[in-house]
């Protein structure tokens, strides 16, 4: 992976009773954010990469100095004795199936210097420490962050700030940006000034969304070429993650033969622009979700769109498929590329609203959904290599309010899954 993020602490963990010298059967990460003078928020992610289900899990570490919870933890029960933190299932994830992920977090206070964890164990087995890269940009002008600043007295503000507004998300760019170069340049520049890597979504393909809820896009092939070239030019040599045209490849089927060819040509043109004008971008071509295309067909469309010259592909954008579906599907698509072309590709997954999985086929602000694993970068060589919040939790799909409008009630319910 390109050296595009600053190092943070991640952990490759062993689960179960296997000896410490055995191959890892789990990956986990520990990262802090939202620091203040005497406290911080800690996020922990554990993924079962073994072949067997793990039940009655626990995660433990010792800070070596006293800490205290400042509010209720999320995603797990947390007990603290001095500096020893022990996290266990709170009923939401009694077991971790192969390929599945659990995430939890807590807001902690301390005195003196900021504590760091000692040896971290999962079900009593020591974790192996490995450096990977996290520093994704947290947008202070996200719709959630703006709402938090404007509503300090609202009873939902603390949770929305801790769980959503202070997480790294993506900013979407499309035909609503009057000057795409200026808009992208300002956003990437702000991230660079903060020493962080931004996540951007390019969403302006002609005949976008097959004329459905998100209809629009550039008015012609030439207009899109100008637009995506300006997009890439504005990033220049700065670091960024770009998700290219969500759903546009799965939706090829709504186009006639000429339209399909034109869209694939535009994808290949976009890949060329980023490679030439923005060489430090990690570019992911979107290929929908695990319930859409067969892996072999997804691989074929990605190849035809130029994925050979991109970092990889993205999955589950704005959707709800569980990690236990998305992660194996992504591996299957990469394997299909390997079988068809002799090489595989990395992938990223949008986990912004997949904590409870889908509600049947409902897609427009369905009830009972939940935020998923927090955005983070996995250990080098892992698949997926990143989990991202491409969709902003709390922004309406168009049913609870106009699409893109931040609805605090939606955000609050996503936090707690109701």
Residues 126 and 205 in one domain: no
At 297, the pLDDT band (50, 70, 90 cuts) reads very high
Considering the domain boundaries, does residue 157 fall inside one? yes
At 301, the pLDDT band (50, 70, 90 cuts) reads very high
Catalytic residues, which ones?
209, 247, 397
Tally the domains of the chain: 2
Residues 362 and 251 in one domain: yes
Residue 368 has pLDDT above 80, yes or no: yes
199: containing domain = 143-416
At 57, the pLDDT band (50, 70, 90 cuts) reads confident
Residues 70 and 193 in one domain: no
Query: Whole-structure pTM over 0.85, yes or no?
Result: no
pLDDT value of position 263 = 94
Out of 76, 102, 132, a domain closes at: 132
Residues 128 and 157 in one domain: no
pLDDT tens digits, one per residue of 193-236:
988 999 999 999 998 877 677 777 888 999 999 999 999 999 99
Considering the domain boundaries, does residue 137 fall inside one? no
Considering the domain boundaries, does residue 1 fall inside one? no
Residue 133 has pLDDT above 90, yes or no: no
Out of 77, 101, 132, a domain closes at: 132
Residues 229 and 206 in one domain: yes
Residues 95 and 237 in one domain: no
Out of 132, 159, 186, a domain closes at: 132
Residues 169 and 281 in one domain: yes
pLDDT tens digits, one per residue of 330-363:
999 999 999 999 999 999 999 999 999 999 999 8
Considering the domain boundaries, does residue 138 fall inside one? no
386-388 and 346-350: which strand pairing?
Answer: parallel
**Which of 94-98, 111-115, 157-161 shows the lowest per-residue confidence on average (mean pLDDT)?**
94-98
At 132, the pLDDT band (50, 70, 90 cuts) reads very low
Of the CA atoms within 13 Å of residue 100, those in its CB half-sphere come to 16
Considering the domain boundaries, does residue 2 fall inside one? no
In sequence order, which residues have a C-beta less than 8 Å from that of residue 206 and are 6 or more positions away?
217, 218, 219, 220, 221, 223, 224, 262, 263, 266
* Higher per-residue confidence, 105 vs 288: 288
Average the pLDDT over 115-126 and give the result.
77
Residues 172 and 241 in one domain: yes
Output the domain CATH number for residue 365.
3.20.20.40
What's the token pair of residue 52? 């067997």
């Amino acid at each position: 992976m390109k050296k595009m993020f600053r190092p943070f602490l991640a952990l490759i963990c062993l689960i179960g009773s296997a000896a410490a010298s055995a191959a890892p059967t789990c990956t986990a990460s520990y990262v802090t954010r939202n620091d203040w003078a005497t406290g911080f928020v800690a996020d922990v992610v554990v993924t079962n990469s073994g072949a067997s289900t793990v039940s009655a899990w626990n995660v433990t570490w010792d800070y070596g100095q006293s800490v205290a919870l400042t509010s209720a933890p999320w995603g797990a029960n947390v007990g603290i004795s001095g500096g020893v933190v022990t996290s266990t299932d709170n009923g939401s994830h009694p077991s971790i199936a192969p390929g599945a992920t659990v995430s939890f977090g807590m807001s902690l206070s301390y005195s003196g210097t900021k504590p760091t964890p000692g040896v971290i164990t999962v079900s009593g087995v020591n974790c192996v420490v490995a450096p990977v890269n996290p520093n994704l940009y947290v947008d202070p002008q996200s719709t959630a962050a703006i709402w938090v600043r404007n509503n300090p007295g609202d009873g939902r503000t603390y949770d929305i700030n801790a769980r959503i507004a202070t997480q790294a998300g993506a900013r979407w760019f499309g035909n609503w940006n009057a000057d795409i170069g200026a808009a992208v340049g300002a956003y990437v520049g702000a991230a660079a000034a903060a020493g962080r890597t931004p996540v951007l979504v390019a969403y302006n393909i002609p005949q976008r969304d097959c004329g459905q809820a998100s209809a629009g896009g550039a008015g012609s092939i030439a207009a899109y070429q100008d637009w995506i070239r300006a997009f890439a030019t504005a990033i220049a040599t700065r670091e960024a993650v770009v998700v290219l045209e969500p759903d546009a490849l799965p939706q090829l089927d709504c186009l006639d033969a000429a339209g399909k060819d034109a869209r694939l040509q535009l994808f290949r043109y976009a890949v060329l622009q980023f490679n030439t004008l923005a060489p430090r971008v990690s570019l992911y071509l979107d290929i929908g979700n695990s319930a859409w295309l067969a892996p072999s067909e997804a691989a074929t469309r990605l190849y035809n769109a130029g994925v050979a010259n991109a970092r990889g592909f993205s999955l589950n954008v704005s959707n709800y498929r569980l990690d236990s579906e998305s992660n194996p599907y992504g591996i299957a698509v990469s394997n299909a590329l390997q079988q068809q072309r002799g090489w595989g590709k990395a992938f990223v997954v949008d986990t912004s609203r997949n904590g409870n999985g889908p509600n049947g086929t409902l897609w427009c602000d369905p009830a009972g959904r939940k935020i998923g694993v927090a955005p983070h970068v996995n250990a080098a060589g892992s698949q997926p290599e990143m989990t991202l919040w491409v969709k902003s939790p709390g922004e309406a799909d168009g049913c609870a309010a106009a699409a893109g409008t931040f609805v605090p009630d939606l955000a609050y319910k996503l936090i707690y899954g109701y």
